[in-house]
């Protein structure tokens, strides 16, 4: 199981700002999603915990915080 | 045709520094590869020009500059 979110941005600057914020959140929460991005998009994938096969509470909180970033 | 390169880093800080440098190069050269990254890796994909099916000269120069970044 995993959480996937595709995000579109008006320009590279907006993409870059989002990536920086997501990076700070990753370091703060020690949750590192896969982020696949180009000039005006970013696909975010959070993988389930390998043992439990579930999203950890930490990963779910991270996903919620990302949603708040996007406002 | 496309150019793909997988990069491994010792820690997130090294990954972040690379992404920042690649971002600056993208803005300077107006070449925006797909970058897919996690804590200690980054996959870089540069797509060929849709019309010609070839990598543009600009994209090839970008790839060379990325190699120089990696030293």
Q: What is the CATH number of domain A2-70?
A: 3.30.1360.20
Q: What is the pLDDT of residues B37-67, one digit of tens each?
A: 999 999 999 988 888 888 889 999 999 999 9
Residue A27 CB burial class (10 angstroms; 0-12, 13-18, ≥19): middle
Taking an 8 Å cut-off on Cβ atoms, the answer to whether B36 and A33 are in contact is no
What are the boundaries of each domain within chain A? Answer: 2-70
Torsion of CA A34, A46, A60, A52, to 10 degrees: -130
The beta strands (E) that lie in chain B are given as: 2-8, 34-37, 41-47
Taking an 8 Å cut-off on Cβ atoms, the answer to whether B12 and A32 are in contact is yes
Please give the pLDDT value at position A45: 96
Question: What is the ipTM score, two decimals?
Answer: 0.90
Q: What is the pLDDT of residues A27-67, one digit of tens each?
A: 999 999 999 999 999 999 998 888 888 888 999 999 999 99
Residue A10 CB burial class (10 angstroms; 0-12, 13-18, ≥19): exposed
Determine the residue among B4, B9, B14, B23 to mutate to test chain A binding: the one whose Cβ has the most chain A Cβ atoms within 10 Å: B23
């Amino acid at each position: 199981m995993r959480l996937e979110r595709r995000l579109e941005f008006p320009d590279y600057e907006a993409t870059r700002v989002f990536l920086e914020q997501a990076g700070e959140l990753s370091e703060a929460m020690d949750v590192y999603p896969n982020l696949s991005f180009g000039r005006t998009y970013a696909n975010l994938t959070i993988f389930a915990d390998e043992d439990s096969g579930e999203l950890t509470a930490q990963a779910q909180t991270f996903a919620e915080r990302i949603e708040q970033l996007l406002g």
